[in-house]
A and B are shown apart, each in its own frame.
Chain A
Amino acid sequence: NAGVTQTPKFQVLKTGQSMTLQCAQDMNHEYMSWYRQDPGMGLRLIHYSVGAGITDQGEVPNGYNVSRSTTEDFPLRLLSAAPSQTSVYFCASSYSGAGELFFGEGSRLTVL
């Protein structure tokens, strides 16, 4: 049982480059979300989805784009990377949006 899988685990970008962080879950969860974790600030919500075709912004959405074409996948796109986007990114999912949240192992991104 893979749970929530994120790729890549590590990535280094130059300012202005774009990239996509991949997230897939095999638990048939309707709800998926992206958080970023920065030292001293805790985890903050970037974007979330309550089902295929439905996404919404979280607390810190600027500079990120998402789409949800299938139940299993929820990619996060960085359109033009900035040093302020250096962080650890976590994808999470839940069955109902009211219950337990399950997290992936994280993707560590450095923007130079």
Chain B
Amino acid sequence: KQEVTQIPAALSVPEGENLVLNCSFTDSAIYNLQWFRQDPGKGLTSLLLIQSSQREQTSGRLNASLDKSSGRSTLYIAASQPGDSATYLCAVRSLLSYNTDKLIFGTGTRLQVFP
């Protein structure tokens, strides 16, 4: 059974720092992996989708990498800002779940960026 883990559960950093959020999964037979952002009391906003054949995806100050063989993905945030404060979730779509919206989610990393 696929399990997704995100460590640390919470992170507090000063503004301007570059930081890395980690996501690990137990079954490497994945179709793709998606990173989301969730603000308190709000829905999930998609940040990056990385296919199993890709090593990384970039959007602005965000860069997601994927190492399928080791079961790990990282989300790199450059020059963090207070507006980046949110919970970051990763979710895996397994190969067997291709053509469905059956994603397995981690429990998230709660990020606080202070001025």
What residues of chain A have their CB less than 8 Å away from a CB belonging to chain B?
A: 4, 31-33, 35, 40-45, 48, 50, 56, 58, 90, 92-94, 96-106
Expressed in whole angstroms, the minimum distance between the Cβ of A41 and any Cβ of chain B is 7
Q: A50-B99, A97-B101, A100-B49 are in contact. Are A40 and B107 (CB under 8 A)?
A: yes
Residues of B14-33 contacting chain A, CB below 8 A: 31-32
Interface centre among A4, A43, A103 (most CB of B within 10 A): A43
Tell me if B102 and A41 are in contact (CB < 8 A): no
What residues of chain B have their CB less than 8 Å away from a CB belonging to chain A?
A: 4, 31-32, 34, 36, 41-46, 49, 89, 91, 93, 98-103, 105-108
Tell me if A48 and B101 are in contact (CB < 8 A): yes
- In the bound complex, residues from chain A placing their C-beta under 8 Å from that of B34 are 100-101
Complex formed: what's the CA distance from A102 to B44 in Å?
8
Beyond A45-B102, A92-B44, A104-B43, 14 additional contacts (C-beta under 8 Å) are A31-B101, A33-B101, A42-B108, A43-B44, A45-B103, A97-B101, A98-B31, A98-B93, A98-B98, A99-B32, A101-B101, A103-B44, A106-B41, A106-B43
Tell me if B101 and A106 are in contact (CB < 8 A): no
Choose from B46, B99, B108 the contact partner of A100 (Cβ within 8 Å). Answer: B46
- In the bound complex, residues from chain B placing their C-beta under 8 Å from that of A45 are 101-103
- In the bound complex, residues from chain B placing their C-beta under 8 Å from that of A94 are 101
- In the bound complex, residues from chain A placing their C-beta under 8 Å from that of B49 are 99-100
Q: Which residue of A lies closest to B97 (CB)?
A: A97
- In the bound complex, residues from chain B placing their C-beta under 8 Å from that of A99 are 32, 49
- In the bound complex, residues from chain B placing their C-beta under 8 Å from that of A98 are 31-32, 93, 98-99
Q: Which residue of A lies closest to B9 (CB)?
A: A40
- In the bound complex, residues from chain A placing their C-beta under 8 Å from that of B99 are 50, 96-98
21 contacts between A and B (CB under 8 A): A31-B100, A35-B105, A42-B4, A42-B89, A42-B107, A43-B91, A43-B105, A45-B102, A50-B99, A50-B100, A92-B44, A93-B101, A96-B99, A98-B31, A98-B99, A100-B34, A101-B101, A102-B46, A103-B43, A104-B43, A105-B42
